[in-house]
């Protein structure tokens, strides 16, 4: 795309096609000869894994939709009876799809943290990063709609809690929030109409994701990959062609990733699930503890950390929208944390902070840690964690970027690699 095309059609047909629709040229330039920094490490394999997981989810989802019934009276039975017990290999397809969602998020979190660590959001890759944030938000929406479909207790009450976030608008413009929730539900409460539209949207959004992924790859291929050194590619000596070097590397780790993925599918298919979702939705009884899926827990903890409804919802939304402006919050001239001794430590504190928030989000609202006589309510940990989450982006990133004394950058990727005895 951004580099000179080296494709030469060899047969009469490919020459003919190349003048009419240069699609082989596009594939060749994007995934075969595409010059890639020669020093990409393990953490760069997750982009390819994510692309494959999107295909896995779309294919398994399409076949599941052939057996699923989006109706409040029939949905639970169509999943637990028909798909799980009657459809040939239905149990396998369902477990692939459910665990695939968790694996998708696992990979996307590694991918996002990788981008943060190596400064992949910095110029000239801001649009690439923002498109990635859009994909992440679309993934969360898709996963949320999908989780509602089996119509279990967690499906129902998760849908109620998340859609009720909009009722916080009532505190700014009275009754507008309630009107929006009724509009989203198509009823006065989550019900049949809600289930139908969520099914429709759950089918639609993955294709929207696929479209944004196309833009994401386009925006990647214009400036080219960032790399662990965070310095620009200076010439052909710094790159290798994508194929076979990274097709093999990505493929190898994809196999390892699938071993983990299928390990869950076959040996612990309900590891990420919640037992309450094996009880059919009951609009009159809320389960004792509402817990979202694990990949949403840090944000759920931040929502619960705030004793005010409106501010809690604003914090939740703000924590996600903050990601969009990260390219401009980081003031450092150096991309990679390898050369940013202070930022490197703050980054790992941030990773720990996200894990801590995830843990707190998984506990009950009134949980506490006991130290002998003393007790620490977990809500205070959540408040501390929320403070660091926002402080990391809005205070530390702009401030440290200006103050920090960075380590000297290597002359070039090639020099750095060859100095270590690589080849």
Partner 1 sequence: MGPAHKSAGRLKIYAASCRNPLHNRLSILAFSSYGPRYFIAGARLATTDEDTTLANATSPEPTRRDFLYIATGAAATVGVGLAAWPFVDQMNPTSAVLAMASIEVDVSAIRPGQQVIFKWRGHPLFVRRRTAKEVAEARAVPPSDLPDGLARNANLTDTAPATDANRTIKPEWLVVVGVCTHLGCTPTVSTPQSPQGSYGGWLCHCHGSEYDTAGRIRKGPAPQNLAVPPYAFTGPTKIKIG
Binding site for partner 1 (CB under 8 A): 157, 160-161, 163-165, 167, 170-171, 182-191, 193, 197, 283-286, 288-290, 304, 306-310, 312, 364-366
Alpha helices in 149-281 (DSSP H): 153-164, 176-185, 192-221, 242-267
Q: How far is CA 19 from the centre of its chain?
A: 39
Q: How far is the CB of 385 from partner 1 (least distance, A)?
A: 17
Backbone angles phi, psi at 238, to 5 degrees: -90, -10
Contacts 24+ apart (CB under 8 A), 408-412: 408/339, 409/229, 409/230, 409/231, 409/334, 409/339, 410/229, 410/231, 412/231, 412/234, 412/235, 412/237, 412/238
How many Cβ atoms from other residues are within 10 Å of residue 137's Cβ? 16
Smaller CB distance to partner 1: residue 131 or 168?
Answer: 168
Q: How far is the CB of 308 from partner 1 (least distance, A)?
A: 6
CB 209 within 8 A of CB 131: no
Smaller CB distance to partner 1: residue 165 or 215?
Answer: 165
Parallel, antiparallel, or unpaired for β 35-37 and 368-371?
unpaired
Which of 70, 74, 68 is CA-nearest to residue 94? Answer: 68
Q: How far is the CB of 275 from partner 1 (least distance, A)?
A: 16
Smaller CB distance to partner 1: residue 160 or 227?
Answer: 160
Smaller CB distance to partner 1: residue 308 or 331?
Answer: 308
d(CA 333, CA 119) in angstroms, rounded, equals: 10
Smaller CB distance to partner 1: residue 127 or 179?
Answer: 179
Smaller CB distance to partner 1: residue 13 or 188?
Answer: 188
Q: How far is the CB of 186 from partner 1 (least distance, A)?
A: 6
Q: How far is the CB of 194 from partner 1 (least distance, A)?
A: 9
Q: How far is the CB of 137 from partner 1 (least distance, A)?
A: 20
Q: How far is the CB of 179 from partner 1 (least distance, A)?
A: 9
Smaller CB distance to partner 1: residue 3 or 197?
Answer: 197
d(CA 265, CA 256) in angstroms, rounded, equals: 14
d(CA 252, CA 256) in angstroms, rounded, equals: 7
């Amino acid at each position: 795309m951004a580099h000179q095309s080296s494709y030469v059609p060899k047969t009469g047909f490919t020459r003919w096609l190349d003048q009419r629709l240069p699609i082989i040229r596009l594939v060749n330039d994007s995934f075969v000869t595409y010059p890639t920094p020669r020093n990409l490490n393990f953490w760069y394999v997750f982009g390819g894994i994510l692309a494959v997981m999107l295909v896995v989810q779309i294919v398994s989802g399409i076949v599941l939709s052939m057996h699923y019934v989006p109706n409040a009276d029939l949905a639970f039975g169509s999943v637990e009876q028909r798909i799980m017990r009657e459809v040939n290999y239905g149990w396998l397809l369902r477990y692939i799809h459910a665990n695939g969602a968790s694996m998708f998020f696992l990979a996307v979190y590694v991918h996002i943290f990788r981008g943060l660590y190596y400064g992949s959001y910095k110029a000239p890759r801001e649009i690439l990063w923002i498109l990635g944030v859009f994909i992440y938000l679309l993934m969360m929406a898709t996963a949320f709609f999908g989780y509602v479909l089996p119509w279990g207790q967690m499906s129902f009450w998760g849908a109620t809690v998340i859609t009720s976030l909009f009722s916080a608008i009532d505190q700014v413009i009275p009754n507008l929030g309630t009107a929006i929730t009724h509009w989203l539900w198509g009823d006065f409460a989550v019900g049949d109409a809600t289930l139908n539209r969520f099914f429709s949207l759950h089918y639609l959004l993955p294709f929207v994701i696929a479209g944004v992924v196309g833009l994401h790859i386009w925006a990647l291929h214009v400036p080219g990959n960032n790399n662990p050194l965070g310095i620009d590619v200076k010439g052909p000596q710094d790159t290798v062609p994508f194929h076979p070097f990274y097709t093999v590397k990505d493929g190898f780790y994809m196999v390892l990733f699938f071993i983990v993925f299928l390990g869950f599918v076959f040996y612990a298919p309900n590891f990420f699930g919640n037992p309450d979702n094996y009880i059919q939705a009951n609009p009159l009884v809320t389960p004792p503890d509402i817990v979202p899926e694990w990949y949403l827990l840090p944000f759920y903890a931040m929502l619960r950390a705030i004793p005010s409804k409106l501010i809690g919802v604003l914090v939740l939304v703000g924590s996600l929208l903050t990601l969009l402006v990260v390219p401009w919050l980081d003031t450092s001239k150096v991309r990679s944390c390898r050369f940013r001794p202070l930022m490197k430590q703050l980054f790992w504190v941030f990773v720990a902070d996200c894990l801590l928030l995830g843990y707190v989000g998984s506990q009950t609202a009134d949980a506490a840690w006991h130290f002998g006589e003393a007790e620490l309510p977990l809500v205070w940990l959540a408040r501390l964690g929320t403070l660091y989450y926002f402080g990391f982006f809005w205070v530390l990133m702009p401030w440290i970027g200006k103050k920090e004394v960075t380590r000297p950058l290597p002359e070039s990727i090639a020099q750095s690699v060859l100095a270590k005895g690589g080849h």
